[in-house]
Structure 1
Amino acid sequence: MSVNRFSWFLTHLHLCDNNLQPNKNEINYDKLYKVRPLIDSLSKIFLHHYIPNKNQSIDESMIRFKGRHSIKQYMPMKPIKRGYKVWIRADQSGYICEFQIYTGKTDSVENNLGKRVVQDLTQNIKNKYHCMYFDNFFTSLGLVEELLQDGIYGCGTVRSNRKGLPKNQLSDKKFKKGDSEGRVSTT
């Protein structure tokens, strides 16, 4: 495609009405307003055309982006260091069932971000007893208990200093290479 043709598409393709865009100072301001119709359409299509497996996972993904935008994230320990962070719920085949683009911190401090993300991404599979797997960023005792009440099984690694963990866990000094400790709910 030529540069002129691409420029024409770029200037004539709009997904929403700019006159209806809320101001940045308003409460319901959406940083992704201009692409929100496309994001919502993709989410509906992903959910409608595929029946996911019972085993699913939630994790973060980065979309490489080097330009300037307020939702761009910098994560120095990741393979893709700069870009858009996306929370994804995928099944065991790798199909993305749902996703949520992280738009950054709000004015107030958000506690339990991982818990909120998991709850948002599992709204459509409540009471279907899927098995959700996630890493230590998301895992907390409260989250796993709430998922079980919603009819979803949860499994994940946990940080040793996470609040609400049982006091009778082994100290890190007693572990040898390859050792692990696990907990299972009986309810």
Structure 2
Amino acid sequence: MSVAHLPSTRIYWSSTLRVTTITEAMTCNRFEEIKRFVHFNDNTKQQNRDEPGYDKLFKIRPFLEKVRERYLLVPKEEHLAVDEQIIPTKARSTLKQYNPKKPHKWGYKVFVLSGVSGFSYDFDFFSGPTNLQPYQPDLGASSNVVVKLTESVPRNQNYKVFFDNWFTGLPLLVYLSKEGILPLGTVRKNRVPDCEFPKESMMKKKGRGTIMERVARVDGVDVSVVSWYDNKIVTTVSTYVGSRPKEYRNIQQLYGRC
């Protein structure tokens, strides 16, 4: 039904627009009966809202965990990214979020670990503070999302993880590096204190493509902060790559962009 959209459920069993894949599986009455009584969890075990450990997704938590189990069996790509997405909905729900920067502004917010192919290897529905394992460090609300979603990424096997400035913080990069994961992310200037760069007006005078780099050692890990001027300044931070080598830019100038 998610592939072949029709305006009403019963139309899938109609004589004119019937979808044989569905009609051969079960009758319409049987489908509606299952949909009416479907349950994934025991409501008597649900905690009250004011009790610690209350889960807004309690009623479908077993279903979500079964889906995650299947996702985690898929071998991951070398280059991964952590980001958020919105599942659009018009339903009334306390889980529904508003994000004006998304194409669909109202919906359920989901944090996703994806590869360059676009396949999602893990996910976490936003329903409040991220629940970490006892052995995982608390690095703040945004960085904890990356900590949780990268738990299944193999260690010390050259896996690279990218994320945007909402997630990025120096403690997160240090943690991932010590765990054997190679991180890179855009960063806000206030999250790299004592790292001075020229003002945007000065870099603008030098022209597009101007690069400034600062390297520091944080808790035994080398961290590279690169400020690059394009249409505006973009600042990235990483523990495995910096502004070198610059020869690639010369190749682009000779042969054009790919």
40 and 66 in structure 1: CA distance in 2 versus 1, 3 angstrom threshold? same
1:74 aligns with 2:98: yes
Give, in whole Å, the separation in 2 of the partners of 1:105 and 1:141. 20
User: Which structure 2 segments of 5+ residues have no match?
Assistant: 1-8, 12-27, 131-137, 213-225, 227-236, 242-258
179 and 113 in structure 1: CA distance in 2 versus 1, 3 angstrom threshold? farther
User: Which structure 1 segments of 5+ residues have no match?
Assistant: none
1:24 aligns with 2:49: yes
Deviates further, 75-84 or 124-133: 124-133
| 1:109-148 correspondence to structure 2 within 5 Å | 112-127=140-155, 128-148=157-177
Structure index of larger Rg: 2
1:102 aligns with 2:147: no
Q: Percent identity over the alignment?
A: 31
Give, in whole Å, the separation in 1 of the partners of 2:106 and 2:240. 42
1:52 aligns with 2:79: no
Give, in whole Å, the separation in 2 of the partners of 1:14 and 1:35. 8
TM-score by length of 2: 0.64
Give, in whole Å, the separation in 2 of the partners of 1:186 and 1:56. 15
TM-score by length of 1: 0.86
1:14 aligns with 2:22: no
Structure with greater contact order relative to length (CA < 8 Å, sep ≥ 6): 1
1:156 aligns with 2:185: yes
**How well do the aligned residues superpose, as a CA RMSD in angstroms?**
2.5
Give, in whole Å, the separation in 2 of the partners of 1:185 and 1:165. 16
Instruction: Name the amino acid aligned to 1:133.
Output: F
Instruction: Please report how far the alpha carbon of residue 105 of structure 1 lies from its aligned counterpart in structure 2 after TM superposition.
Output: 5.8
| 4+ residue segments displaced more than 6 Å | none
What's the secondary structure of 1:35's corresponding residue? helix
Instruction: Please report how far the alpha carbon of residue 71 of structure 1 lies from its aligned counterpart in structure 2 after TM superposition.
Output: 1.3
